[in-house]
Amino acid sequence: MSMYLLSAHDISALVTELQASYDVYGPQVEPQTKQVFFDQLASAEALDLAAPIPSMPVKEILFPQMERILKYKYDAQSQSVELSKQYFERPKVLFGLRPCDLSGILVLDRFFLGQEFVDDVYLTHRRQCLLISNTCLHPFPQCFCVCTHSGPDADEGFDLDLTQLKDGILVRVGSEKGQALADAHQWSVASAAHAAEFKAVVERSIDLFPELATDNKAWVAKVMNRITTGFVKPETWEYIGDQCFECGACSFVCPTCSCFNIEDSATACGECERLRMRDSCSFEGYARMAGDHNPRQPVEDRRNKRFFCKLSYPQSKKYLRPGCVGCGRCQWVCPGDIGLPNVVQYIRREITGGQN
């Protein structure tokens, strides 16, 4: 893997240059609320690579909360239907992805593109994407990517990967596209010392994770085993279910949740648009089948569906990694207390009989 060392100025120049032919997105701080979003950059100055993990996952760009995918019009006279597609391809750069969000994209890729059916809407958004990841020098308060093999550094899937070192920003190349970009510039090649510093930076970042997170690493595996084999006690699920307010937030902020709903909505006489919107297995209506059978009507059954999806072997086989990438977002948006890390705790408590 080739490695280069860039200055902050080089990075800025790169953003500006890319903006000529791409929509460039990156982490930015919203001025009034100081909340971080991964949004389209108006200029290179807006990019803040040191900003904490964005509050919403980067799937906002590839799989938005709601989008119009189709319009159709029925002409009664000629008895014909006119269809028009409502999603369009735009080359994009996702500049400064946190490793967990990068892993999230890889999971979505496997879900939307890697199975028999290729989702054309997602593919259109995803096709011309340049992925530039950014190593986390220290964890943010809710992070536990060390338990789910998705951080604090990226190890696959990026075109370029950035790490802030003392003398500048280390750029690791991860793909041909990334290499082509490097070749087109006169970036200075990084030394062996820089490579060593990179390792040390990542080690230090791992050390900075709270004990609970690192400690949970083994527990995530144990909990996965429990969930897969169905050994979690019904009382534990009930305890979890009682705390679910059925808001759907955990799915909306999860970088790997891919469920959606489709609705055709009439816009005018004979005209209709097809909307697709994110959905969540926490909702009662999510699992209802024709004929009114709902295999997951009680809320606790719906909740264990989520944790089965995030932490079980069959799901991991599908995604080639755990369904959870350790971003911790579901913890901060949950009005109950059942973000994934906590659920791991609850099941862990059940295993140990109360001692942590």
Partner 1 sequence: MNLAHYKPCVCNLCGTGCGQFLNTDGQRVYGVAPLITHPVSKGKLCIRGWHANELLNTHERITTPLIREHGELRPASYDEAIAKVMSTLQTFKGEAGEIGVLASARSSNEDGYTLARLSREVLKTQLRGIGAEAGHRKSMDSLRHAFGYPGAHGSLTAIDHADYILVVGTDITRQNPIIGGNIHAAQRRGARVVTLSSSRTQIAKLSTKHFQEKPGTLGLLVNALGKSLMAIRTVNHDRRANIDKLPGYSEYAASLRSISSVALERASGIRYEEIEEEAKYLEHAKSVVILFSSGISGLDRPTIDAITNLALLTDRMDHPHSAVIPVAGISNLQGSFDMGMSGELGNSVFKALATPDSAIKALLVIDHDDGIIRDKARIAALDFVVYACAYKNAFMELADVVFPLPAYNETDGTYTAADKRVQITRQNVDNKRGILPGWNLWQRLAAAVGHHWGYQDAAHVFKDVAKHTPGYADLSHELLGKGFGQHWNPKGFASSRQRQFNAINIEYWEAPTSPQFPFALMIGKAQHYWHQNNLMRKTIVPRREYDQTLWLYPQGYIEISPDDATRLKVKDKWLVNVRSSIGTSMKIAVKISPDVQNGTAYIPYFIKNMISDFLLPYENAYAAGEESVIPIQIQE
Contacts of 308 (CB under 8 A, 6+ apart): 227, 228, 315
In the three-class reduction of DSSP (H, G, I as helix; E, B as strand; rest coil), residue 181 is classed as helix
235 binds partner 1 (CB under 8 A): no
324 binds ligand SF4 (CB under 6 A): yes
Spatial distance between the Cα atoms of 264 and 269, rounded to a whole number of angstroms: 13
Q: Which one of partner 1, ligand SF4, none interacts with residue 332, CB within 5 to 8 A by kind?
A: partner 1
Spatial distance between the Cα atoms of 315 and 313, rounded to a whole number of angstroms: 5
Q: Which one of partner 1, ligand SF4, none interacts with residue 156, CB within 5 to 8 A by kind?
A: none
What character string, x for contact with partner 1 (CB under 8 A) and - otherwise, covers 291-320? -x-x--------------------------
165 binds ligand SF4 (CB under 6 A): no
Nearer to partner 1, 128 or 243 (CB): 243
Spatial distance between the Cα atoms of 265 and 267, rounded to a whole number of angstroms: 6
Q: Which one of partner 1, ligand SF4, none interacts with residue 173, CB within 5 to 8 A by kind?
A: none
Core vs surface per residue 209-243: b (16+ CB within 10 A) or e: beeebbebeebbeebbebbeeeebeeebbeebbeb
- The label of the residue with tokens 């750029």 reads 171
Q: Which stretch binds ligand SF4 (CB under 6 A): 128-136, 189-197, 201-209, 255-263?
A: 255-263
298 binds ligand SF4 (CB under 6 A): no
Q: Residue 130 is encoded by which pair of tokens? A: 């340049």
Nearer to partner 1, 141 or 210 (CB): 141
Q: At what angle do helices 234-242 and 299-310 cross, to 10 degrees?
A: 100
- C-alpha 85 chain-centroid distance: 26
254 binds ligand SF4 (CB under 6 A): yes
Q: Checking phi first, is residue 276 left (phi over 0); if not, alpha (psi -120 to 50) or beta?
A: beta
Q: Which one of ligand SF4, partner 1, none interacts with residue 325, CB within 5 to 8 A by kind?
A: ligand SF4
247 binds partner 1 (CB under 8 A): yes
227 binds ligand SF4 (CB under 6 A): no
**β-pairing verdict for 260-268 and 36-40:** unpaired
Q: How far is the CB of 126 from ligand SF4 (least distance, A)?
A: 17
Nearer to partner 1, 169 or 250 (CB): 250
Of positions 93, 250, 344, 347, contacts ligand SF4 by CB under 6 A: 250
Name residues contacting ligand SF4, limited to 265-284 (CB under 6 A).
Answer: 280-282
Helix (H) / strand (E) element for 75: namely strand 66-75
Binding site for partner 1 (CB under 8 A): 28, 30-35, 37, 39-43, 45-46, 55-56, 60, 64-67, 242-243, 245-249, 252, 261, 263, 265-268, 275, 277, 279, 283-285, 288, 292, 294, 332-337
